[in-house]
């Protein structure tokens, strides 16, 4: 088509010629001049001109590329029509001859008219009579057909006339189009009709190029002419040159469309499925149905819609004889008279139609428990496909429709029923569709039927999944933000210009995904989506800048992997993708399939908690908060702990393989999973770590005795573990991994510690065994966290005692005393420990992040405040002028140091929960103080202005406004200053004549409006002492009841943090901790590694780590099986099963009723036959016609009886039941 012609205003001519050179039908193009477009006819023409373009379509069918050329013969018109009286509603039309190649029409629809290639074509065939449509048929069309077509982006082909079923289809398409919110998937109603039956067709023949044709729609059909339906968007008007020319063109167009290929959701292509639906109609449509079936087009008959559709449906199980057909036709068309020739012709057509039952489906919506129309359409297409081939590739179009309509039940029963062998390659396209469109049941179905995720998912497909996320989700905003930051970092371009460059949909990479994950999981996602062993190539300028920037920030340089590379753990990557998109059902399935389920659930808990804070949509944020992944981790760990405690302990502290060597405890800490730490298994592990190698039931007084008398450590006074006598060597352990005892030894002992024991043995070689025993006992006693904690508590009490002694007794002007210098040194060692905790902890985290993590703890803030106050107090104390200020500051500092005892005693099981309750109640106190302050200021200012209007002293004003009302709350009410009746005459200064108060007398109290002051006092005391105080008590009670049930969980979580803190602390407490700091400093210089963290981080050998992962997977399967069992035994599932059985029973009863009707019909016919035979016998008898041989006799033994009679009743030869049984048996024989 010429590029300069507008579509709605153009008149085109198409010529059809046959190439005389090649002898084939050659290319056709809609041109404005009628020039030939064949290369052979005009080899020297410029092929780039619009008038000379050759339309050669490549169609992929059965794996072959076929170049289809188009013949040019006739002239037709393309234009646009405006329906008069319906606003600005327009439609496009084309006038063609019946010999027009279907490829030209399809090219016009998809190319020039820009219709998207359909994923389904439904052709409606029915009568054009304006009959009263049944309600169920209207619902079927509106809710079933059009809705199913809309979900796939289908074409609905009708006659395009405003009459009969076509009119209702157009209205349904219009209503769904108005309600549709998606601009990508639309339903197009296309009409194909003969030009001779259209009313007002003159307005369509003479089309002005500048304006569309004005067409007047007539609501009622006039004789044989019908109006075009204004709800159809495109019309194909056929100028019949031969009888049934429109039908022939319609058949060729459907055949051509079915050979084309298209795609859904941008992944791959499918052959366009085509289905014809017969609704109502007259007997003349039988020829059309027959011709359609000859082209292997599947048909769907809507039984109950009336007309010939009901005739075919009723004759499906009847004997096809002309009399039966005539009876059915007379019943459906009582006003019509049919000739014998027509009956015979239609009988043959019906026989031919019913014989092709593999492409014929009958649907009766009036029956009870009938399926939806989309289900019937899909089953009809699958049924037709099965009759042609058993190759998996030929089922992909039906499978994609099942995915689109989310009908996994049909896919299971009709496609994945064992008839077709599916391979992983066959399911790749539909798997991408299921993932992108969030169809978890199909993902599960594909994996169960041969899909291999390790072969399917590579980095390229994973990146494609992230690029296909919807724009309205939170992940899209986060990825877009990271992409903008990356572009600005590398190019340094203007943010406004950069935002303009991102107006189109951006293409995200795995780099942006890794940055988003790092914000959520921090160190738990190091190395995810990066090449494991990258080969470093020379970097460009932009990459060098990126690397330098990453190093300055303390970050690792991201190395983009090869997009064709397979993923090491596709289940983890798909799980993260589903969690980030908040597709919980999909994420749950990937969690079930993947390894390391406990850390995966904790990571998901962390991600969703962070995303819930960022999500602006309240409903989405609520669904994120309801995701109970922490409960999944808790339940699965409980299953593991029940099976084997030692393996469960190791599961908590082992460095994970797929989560960047982080442990479950670290992930639970990041996710703030308090309930996970409250599990008995986690607490049992913490107790073992807390006591070290000592027995967990050792009394505290024995430890105190060990402090006072160290030689008791080397006796049996304190019980130590059996591993005190040595451990198994690493090499011997790895040789016997299958031994259960060896495995326990590996799980419960530190491999690195064993290496240190070996080093100690080599270093102490030649010395006696007693010295080695003493050294080992000494390390185990003083290295246990409980010992470190007790040492810090005892010395902290000593520190507070020394501090109090100096403030109370020995605080004198400079120079300070020896005791005070000792206190300074003590605080100096405390400051060194705080510096170690903030900047010199283990790990690869940069210093800034370490300090941020340190400041996040409220008790660390308390320590910082205490140290800053101490430094300020000592500085002021050394100067004579600020000596008292220094003493005041140190007194406040002592209070802060004393409050630090609350954190120390949080480890106690009785005090810990109460401390948590007090912390929560402090928030209630702040709310109470806010309301109290408002009333204090209001009451204080009013009473001060009324009682002391002449007061000018600022300090006294402040006292009277705030301090005095506050004391009045507790009962200190000065009535002699408020109540006029109780005032005492005292000397005072009135300041009435601007005199000076030389005697410094107090100002006189103003007695005017004294009654108002008393009334304000009453109201103030009522509000504060009654209302606000009881409100505070109520708030305390509510907080106590709310927290009391969860205090144990909160306390156990705090216990974990306290154990980790004292586990990482040096063995010696301040001030002796300076020795440990010097030791750490020297080891840091010589770079000798520290291994005390091995209690919380354990690196296992690969063989044992794999064994532990397999064991965890087995326990996960057991846990899921128990969940499934509980679900099956639940009341809901039982009700569902009962409902299913009732439905099945109802269907069986319906089938029995149908059989009963058939039996009654047979019985009626048998009676009729019996009467006819009796009549014949009587006629023969009356005419004296006799046979030479006797009549045949009936013997009961020759034919088995269908139903056995009761023994107590004698058989009756002439009973109707026996006759019926014999008749049925005779018919069966």
Q: Give a three-class secondary structure readout of 880-947.
A: CCCHHHHHHHHHHHHHHHHHCHHHHHHHCCCHHHHHHHHHHHHHHHHHHHHHHHHHHHHHHHHHHHHH
Distance CA 566, CA 21 (A): 52
Contacts of 512 (CB under 8 A, 6+ apart): 479, 482, 483, 486
**Distance of CA 699 to CAs 695, 717, 794, Å?**
9, 11, 16
Q: What distance lies between CA 1097 and its chain's CA centroid?
A: 32
- The three-class DSSP label of residue 1129 is coil
Torsion of CA 628, 630, 635, 636, to 10 degrees: 110
Q: What is the value of pTM for the model shown?
A: 0.72
Strand, coil or helix: what is 740?
helix
Answer whether the bond into residue 273 is a cis peptide, omega within 30°.
no
Cis peptide before 770 (omega within 30 of 0): no
**CA–CA gap between residue 608 and residue 595 (Å, rounded):** 20
- Please name which of 286, 168, 170, 184 lies closest in space to residue 235, comparing C-alpha atoms: 170
Choose among 656, 659, 671, 720: nearest CA to 693.
Answer: 720
Contact 1046, 919 (CB under 8 A): no
Residue 402 · residue 117 · CB < 8 Å: no
The overall longest dimension of the chain from CA atoms, in Å, is 165
Predicted pLDDT of residue 357? 84
- Cα distances (Å, whole numbers) of residue 896 to 312, 467, 859, 863: 94, 54, 11, 8
DSSP H or E segment with residue 270: strand 270-271
CB neighbours (10 Å) of residue 524? 23
Residue 254 contacts residue 247 (beta carbons within 8 Å): no
Task: Output the CA–CA distances (angstroms, integers) from residue 114 to 109, 204, 257, in the order listed.
Answer: 6, 22, 16
Could you tell me the sign of the dihedral formed by the alpha carbons of 111, 112, 113, 114, in that order?
Answer: positive
Query: Which residue in this structure is represented by tokens 């209070």?
Result: 895
What are the residue ranges in the chain where pLDDT is below 50? 1-75, 264-268, 493, 497, 502, 532-548, 550-555, 724-739, 741, 750-766, 1196-1229
3-state secondary structure of 738: coil
Paired with 364 in beta bridges are 303
Distance CA 57, CA 252 (A): 16
Reported residue count of the chain is 1229
**Residue tagged 């400079």 (tokens):** 814
Which residue in this structure is represented by tokens 């066959």?
A: 426
- Bridge partners (DSSP) of residue 191 are 158, 235
CA distance 1135 to 1141: 10
Write out the two tokens for 1086. Answer: 């010589």
The pLDDT, as a whole number, for residue 1084 is 78
Instruction: Identify any residues that bridge with 869 across adjacent strands, giving them in sequence order.
Output: none
Burial of 763 (0-12, 13-18, 19+ CB in 10 A): exposed
From the CA atom positions of the chain, what is the Rg in Å?
Answer: 46
Q: Which two tokens stand for residue 282?
A: 């007259």
For 831, the enclosing helix (H) or strand (E) is helix 818-839
CA angle centred on 1217, ends 1211 and 1219, rounded to 5°: 90
The predicted structure's pLDDT at residue 366: 65
CA atoms within 13 A on the CB side of 920: 20
Q: Exposed, middle or buried by CB within 10 Å (0-12, 13-18, 19+), for 731? A: exposed
Residues 244, 250: contact at Cβ < 8 Å? no
Task: Identify the sign of the CA torsion 20, 52, 251, 271.
Answer: positive
Instruction: Find out whether 10 and 32 touch, Cβ atoms under 8 Å.
Output: yes
Is there a contact between 890 and 807 (Cβ–Cβ < 8 Å)? yes
Contact of 354 with 1132, CB cutoff 8 Å: no
Q: Which residues, including other chains, have CB under 8 Å from residue 1028's CB and lie 6 or more apart?
A: 928, 931, 932, 935
The answer to whether the CB of 238 falls within 8 A of the CB of 204 is no
Phi-psi region of 806 (alpha: psi -120 to 50; beta: other; left: phi over 0): alpha
- Bridge-based pairing of strands 121-126 and 261-262 is unpaired
Comparing C-alpha atoms, which of 655, 665, 479, 487 is closest to residue 577?
A: 479
3-state secondary structure of 232: coil
Q: What is the pLDDT of residue 936?
A: 92
Q: Please list the alpha-helical segments (H only) found in 726-784.
A: 730-735, 740-748, 751-763, 769-783
Distance, CA of 90 to chain centre: 41
For 298-323, how does the pLDDT look when each residue is reduced to its tens digit (9 = 90+)?
Answer: 999 988 888 888 888 888 877 778 88
93 closest CA partner among 78, 82, 104: 78
Distance (Å, whole) CA 453 – CA 457: 6
């Amino acid at each position: 088509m010429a590029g300069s012609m507008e579509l709605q205003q153009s008149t085109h001519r198409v010529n059809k010629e046959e190439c005389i050179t090649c002898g084939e039908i050659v290319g056709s193009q809609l041109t404005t001049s009628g020039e030939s477009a064949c290369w052979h006819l005009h080899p020297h023409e410029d092929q780039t001109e619009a008038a000379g373009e050759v339309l050669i379509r490549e169609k992929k069918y059965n794996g072959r590329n076929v170049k289809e050329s188009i013949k040019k013969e006739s002239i037709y018109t393309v234009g646009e029509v405006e329906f008069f009286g319906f606003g600005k509603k327009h439609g496009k039309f084309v006038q063609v001859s019946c010999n027009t190649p279907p490829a030209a029409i399809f090219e016009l629809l998809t190319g020039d008219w820009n219709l998207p290639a359909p994923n389904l074509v439904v052709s409606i065939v029915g009568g054009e009579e304006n009959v009263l449509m049944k309600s169920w048929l209207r619902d079927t069309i509106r809710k079933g057909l059009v809705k199913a077509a809309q979900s796939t982006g289908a074409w609905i082909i009708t006659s395009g006339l405003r009459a009969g079923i076509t009119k209702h289809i157009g209205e349904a398409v219009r209503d769904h189009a108005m309600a549709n919110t998606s601009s990508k998937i639309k339903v197009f109603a296309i009409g194909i009709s003969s030009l001779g039956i259209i009313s007002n067709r003159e307005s369509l023949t003479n089309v002005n190029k500048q304006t569309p044709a004005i067409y007047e729609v007539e609501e009622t059909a006039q004789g044989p002419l019908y109006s075009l339906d204004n709800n159809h968007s495109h019309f194909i008007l056929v100028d019949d040159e031969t009888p049934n020319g429109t039908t022939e063109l319609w058949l060729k167009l459907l055949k051509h469309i079915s050979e084309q290929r298209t795609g859904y959701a941008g992944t791959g292509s499918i052959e366009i499925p085509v289905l014809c639906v017969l609704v109502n109609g007259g007997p003349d449509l039988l020829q059309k149905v027959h011709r359609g079936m000859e082209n292997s087009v599947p048909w769907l008959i809507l039984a109950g819609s009336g007309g010939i559709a009901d005739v075919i449906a009723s004759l499906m199980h009847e004997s096809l004889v002309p009399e039966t057909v005539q009876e059915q036709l007379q019943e459906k068309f009582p006003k019509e008279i049919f000739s014998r020739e027509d009956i015979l012709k239609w009988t043959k057509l019906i026989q031919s139609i019913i014989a092709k039952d593999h492409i014929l489906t009958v649907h009766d919506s009036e029956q009870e428990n009938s399926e939806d129309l989309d289900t019937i359409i899909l089953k009809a297409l699958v049924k037709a496909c099965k009759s042609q081939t058993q190759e998996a590739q030929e089922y992909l179009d039906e499978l994609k429709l099942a995915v689109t309509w989310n009908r996994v039940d049909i896919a299971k029963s009709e496609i994945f029923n064992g008839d077709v062998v599916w391979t992983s390659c066959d399911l790749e396209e539909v798997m991408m569709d299921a993932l992108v469109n969030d169809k978890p049941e199909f993902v599960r179905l594909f994996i169960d039927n041969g899909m291999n995720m390790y072969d399917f998912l590579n980095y390229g497909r994973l990146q494609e999944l992230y690029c296909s996320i919807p724009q309205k989700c939170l992940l899209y905003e986060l990825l877009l933000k990271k992409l903008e930051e990356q572009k600005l970092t590398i190019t340094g371009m203007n943010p406004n210009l950069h935002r303009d460059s991102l107006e189109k949909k951006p293409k995200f990479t795995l780099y942006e995904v890794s940055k988003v994950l790092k914000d959520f999981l921090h160190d738990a996602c190091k190395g995810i989506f990066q090449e494991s062993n990258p080969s470093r190539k020379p970097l460009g300028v932009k990459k060098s800048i990126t690397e330098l920037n990453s190093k300055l920030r303390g970050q690792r340089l991201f190395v983009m992997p090869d997009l064709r590379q397979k993923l090491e753990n596709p289940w983890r990557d798909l799980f993260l993708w589903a969690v980030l998109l908040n597709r919980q059902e999909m994420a749950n399935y990937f969690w079930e399939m993947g390894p390391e389920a406990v850390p995966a659930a904790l990571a998901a808990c962390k991600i969703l908690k962070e995303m819930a804070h960022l999500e602006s949509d309240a409903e989405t944020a609520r669904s994120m908060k309801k995701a109970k992944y922490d409960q999944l981790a808790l339940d699965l760990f409980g299953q593991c702990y029940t099976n084997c405690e030692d393996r469960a302990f190791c599961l908590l502290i082992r460095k994970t393989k797929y989560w960047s060597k982080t442990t479950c405890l670290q992930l639970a800490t990041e996710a703030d999973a308090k309930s996970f730490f409250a599990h008995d298994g986690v607490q049992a592990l913490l107790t073992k770590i807390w006591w070290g190698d000592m027995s967990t039931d050792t009394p505290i007084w024995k430890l105190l005795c060990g402090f006072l008398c160290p030689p008791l450590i080397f006796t049996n006074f304190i019980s130590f573990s059996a591993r005190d006598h040595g451990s198994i060597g690493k090499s011997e352990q790895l040789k016997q991994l299958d031994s259960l005892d060896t495995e326990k030894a590996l799980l419960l002992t530190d491999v690195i510690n064993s290496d240190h024991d070996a080093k100690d043995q080599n270093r102490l070689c030649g010395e006696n065994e007693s010295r080695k025993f003493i050294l080992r006992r000494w390390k185990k006693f003083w290295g246990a966290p409980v010992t470190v904690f007790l040492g810090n508590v005892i010395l902290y009490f000593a520190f507070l005692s020394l501090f109090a002694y100096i403030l109370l007794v020995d605080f004198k002007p400079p120079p300070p005393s020896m005791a005070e210098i000792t206190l300074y040194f003590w605080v100096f060692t405390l400051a060194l420990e705080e510096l170690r905790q903030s900047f010199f902890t283990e790990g690869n985290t940069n210093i800034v992040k370490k300090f941020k993590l340190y400041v996040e703890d409220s008790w660390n803030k308390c320590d910082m405040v205490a140290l800053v106050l101490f430094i300020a107090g000592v500085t002021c104390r050394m100067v004579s002028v600020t000596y008292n200020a220094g003493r005041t500051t140190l007194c406040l500092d002592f209070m802060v140091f004393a409050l630090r005892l609350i954190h120390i005693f949080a480890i106690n099981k009785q005090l810990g929960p109460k401390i948590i309750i007090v912390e929560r109640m402090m928030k209630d106190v702040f709310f109470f103080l806010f309301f109290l302050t408002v009333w204090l200021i209001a009451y204080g200012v009013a009473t001060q202005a009324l009682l002391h209007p002449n007061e000018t002293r600022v300090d006294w004003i402040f006292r009277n406004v705030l301090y005095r009302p506050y004391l009045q709350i507790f009962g200190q009410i000065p009535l002699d200053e408020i109540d006029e009746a109780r005032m005492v005459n005292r000397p005072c200064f009135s300041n009435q004549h601007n005199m000076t108060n030389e005697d410094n007398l107090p100002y006189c109290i103003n007695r005017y409006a004294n009654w108002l002051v008393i009334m304000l006092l009453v109201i103030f005391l009522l509000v504060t002492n009654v209302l606000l105080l009881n409100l505070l008590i109520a708030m305390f009670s509510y907080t106590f009841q709310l927290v009391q049930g969860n205090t144990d969980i909160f306390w156990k979580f705090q216990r974990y943090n306290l154990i980790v803190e004292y586990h990482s602390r040096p063995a010696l407490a301040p001030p002796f901790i300076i020795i440990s700091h010097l030791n750490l400093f020297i080891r840091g210089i010589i770079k000798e590694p520290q291994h005390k963290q091995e209690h919380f981080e354990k690196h296992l050998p690969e063989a044992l780590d794999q064994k532990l992962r397999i064991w965890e997977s087995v326990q996960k399967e057991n846990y899921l099986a128990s969940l499934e069992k509980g679900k099956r035994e639940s009341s809901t599932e039982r009700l569902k099963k009962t409902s299913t059985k009732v439905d099945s029973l109802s269907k069986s009863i319906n089938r029995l009723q149908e059989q009963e009707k058939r039996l009654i019909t047979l019985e009626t016919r048998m009676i009729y036959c019996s009467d006819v035979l009796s009549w014949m016998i009587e006629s023969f008898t009356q005419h004296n016609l006799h046979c030479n041989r006797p009549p045949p006799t009936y013997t009961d033994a020759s034919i088995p009886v269908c139903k056995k009679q009761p023994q107590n009743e004698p058989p009756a030869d002439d009973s109707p039941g026996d006759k019926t049984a014999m008749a049925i048996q005779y018919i069966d024989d």
